[in-house]
């Protein structure tokens, strides 16, 4: 009788554990095996500029990833390219190593500090093959800053931040490399990056975990696209918006090719796919890049969010993002909890069984519980940026935007009630303002002075204090780009 009861209990357990459709998704799928990781980043894409956010721009592959995965609707990056990319690869806020201000310009000689322990280094230590296909923008003047020297086994694409999509050049210099060697080839940059990523996957041994960082330059200015993509948007009369839409669709097509390669190689079921823009879409020609775009419209659309790239308002920092892994992330789910780009470092290293640098604690949190339907237990803070002249911090639903240079300005918003940041409540909440300002002050004590300002000041000093300006020379300086 006892034996019969034991068999009955065993049978019930088999049926319960074998049929998990009734169980909460997060409970049933809480312990993933070490995944392949495909991390896709677009460049300067507006929050609304995907189909699943209601855009007229066609993004069927991204839409499908969102439908079969999770949309991350309170996901934050930094307001410009270099800080966001540095935060992703370090898991640490960029003010800790001097990359919090602007981007590394083409003539810049600095880069991401070499004593930072990057994500590919951590993953490589536990057996991952690591590859970057696409934009780097974390230091180019010295090879010690380059991807192959920072933990990537394979590299293909531009090292700088902005290139011509057909000549692959910046200021007349070709910026197109494979494994530190310059490559001169024809083709549209977006297509070449997608094709290379797909080929890399097709030749990869599925038994070896892969970390592929696919960083498109699209749709960053200059706004350029092949005729066949421009023809898809004949109904858009504005040339910049037409090209911008074509660039995003071209990128989406290449994402589709990469996903097809994962399927063909039998890797898709064990691949965590992340997609995001590096910052909000630009809303001013002053921040589209080094190419002059002031003669046309600025085409990015950040939906309901205020301002855009380079701004600490939501339009510059709340970016389009999703995560997809059908075995573990519930299809069609929405994660409406605040998440930050620094969170991916501890999340991915945890999934991979890797360790971060013990000498430099990460700022991010492991957000895997949120991705599978749970909660981020201790996430109550978002750091938008800590700079000498401005800062922004969110705690709970309250966000403080503080311009410290004279005339100073303090703005306080309740994002739950006012996500578009239209109503400044600073005068009504002086105690809350004082508390948030104090916390920003404390964070700033750990900041390294911005390397952009340091280098710009040095360059200006060498010009301003090393010559005498005659009227002719002053005019020449004024006319320099």
Contacts of 457 (CB under 8 A, 6+ apart): none
* CB 233 within 8 Å of CB 29: no
Cα–Cα distance measured from residue 23 to residue 19, given in angstroms and rounded to the nearest whole number: 9
Q: Please state, in angstroms and rounded to a whole number, the distance separating the CA atoms of residues 458 and 194.
A: 39
Describe the chain by its helix, strand, coil percentages, rounded to 5.
35, 15, 50
* Residue whose pair of structure tokens reads 């080929």 in the numeric block: 199
Question: Which backbone phi and psi does 17 adopt, to 5 degrees?
Answer: -75, -30
| C-beta separation of 211 from 39 below 8 A | yes
**Angle, alpha carbons 253-194-159 (nearest 5°):** 135
How many Cβ atoms are within 10 Å of 37's Cβ, its own excluded?
Answer: 23
**81 given a catalytic annotation:** yes
**How many other C-beta atoms can be found within 10 angstroms of the C-beta atom of residue 9?**
10
Of 36, 53, 78, 81, which residue is the catalytic one?
A: 81
* Annotation marks residue 220 as catalytic: no
List, as one string, the DSSP characters of 344-375.
HHHHHHHHHT----TTS--S----HHHHTT--
Spatial distance between the Cα atoms of 246 and 248, rounded to a whole number of angstroms: 6
Residue with tokens 């066949």: 228
Q: Which of 95, 137, 204, 340 is catalytic?
A: 137
Instruction: State the catalytic residues.
Output: 81, 137
């Amino acid at each position: 009788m006892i034996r019969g009861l034991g068999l009955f209990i065993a049978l019930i357990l088999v049926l319960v554990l074998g049929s998990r459709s009734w169980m909460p998704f997060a409970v049933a799928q809480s312990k993933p095996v070490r995944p392949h990781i495909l991390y896709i980043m677009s460049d300067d894409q507006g929050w609304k500029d995907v189909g699943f956010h209601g855009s007229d721009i066609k993004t069927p592959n991204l839409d499908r990833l969102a439908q079969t995965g999770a949309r991350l609707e309170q996901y934050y990056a930094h307001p410009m390219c270099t800080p966001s990319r540095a935060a992703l690869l370090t898991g640490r806020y960029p003010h800790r190593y001097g990359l919090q201000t602007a981007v590394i310009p083409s003539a810049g000689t600095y880069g991401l500090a070499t004593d930072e322990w990057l994500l590919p280094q951590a993953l490589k230590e536990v057996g991952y093959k690591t590859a970057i296909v696409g934009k780097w923008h974390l230091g180019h003047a010295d090879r010690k800053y380059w991807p192959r020297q920072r933990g990537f086994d394979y590299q293909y694409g531009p090292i700088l931040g902005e290139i011509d999509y057909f000549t692959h050049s910046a200021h007349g210099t070709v910026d197109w490399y494979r494994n530190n060697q310059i490559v001169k080839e024809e083709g549209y940059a977006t297509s070449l990056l997608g094709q290379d990523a797909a080929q890399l996957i097709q030749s990869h041994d599925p038994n070896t975990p892969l970390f592929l960082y696919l960083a498109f330059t699209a749709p960053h200015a200059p706004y350029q696209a092949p005729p066949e993509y421009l023809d898809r948007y004949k109904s858009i009369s504005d040339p910049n918006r037409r090209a911008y839409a074509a660039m995003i669709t071209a990128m989406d097509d290449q994402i589709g090719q990469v996903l097809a390669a994962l399927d063909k190689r039998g890797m898709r079921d064990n691949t965590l796919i992340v997609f995001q823009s590096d910052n909000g879409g630009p809303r001013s020609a002053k921040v589209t890049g080094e190419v002059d775009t002031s003669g046309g419209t600025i085409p990015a659309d950040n939906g309901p969010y205020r301002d855009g790239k380079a701004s600490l308002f939501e339009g510059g920092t709340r970016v389009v993002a999703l995560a997809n892994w059908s075995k573990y992330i519930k299809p069609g789910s929405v994660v409406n909890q605040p998440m930050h780009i620094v969170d991916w470092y501890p999340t991915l290293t945890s999934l991979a069984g890797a360790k971060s640098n013990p000498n430099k604690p990460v700022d991010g949190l492991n957000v895997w519980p949120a991705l599978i339907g749970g909660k981020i237990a201790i996430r109550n803070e978002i750091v938008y940026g800590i700079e000498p002249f401005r800062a922004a911090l969110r705690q709970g639903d309250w966000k403080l935007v503080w311009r410290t240079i004279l005339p100073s300005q303090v703005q306080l918003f309740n994002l739950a009630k006012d996500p578009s940041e239209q109503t400044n409540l600073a005068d009504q909440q002086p105690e809350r303002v004082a508390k948030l300002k104090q916390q920003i002050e404390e964070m700033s004590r750990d900041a390294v002075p911005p390397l952009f300002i340091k280098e710009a000041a040095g360059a200006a000093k060498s010009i301003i204090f090393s010559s005498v300006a005659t009227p002719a020379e002053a005019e020449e300086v004024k006319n320099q780009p």
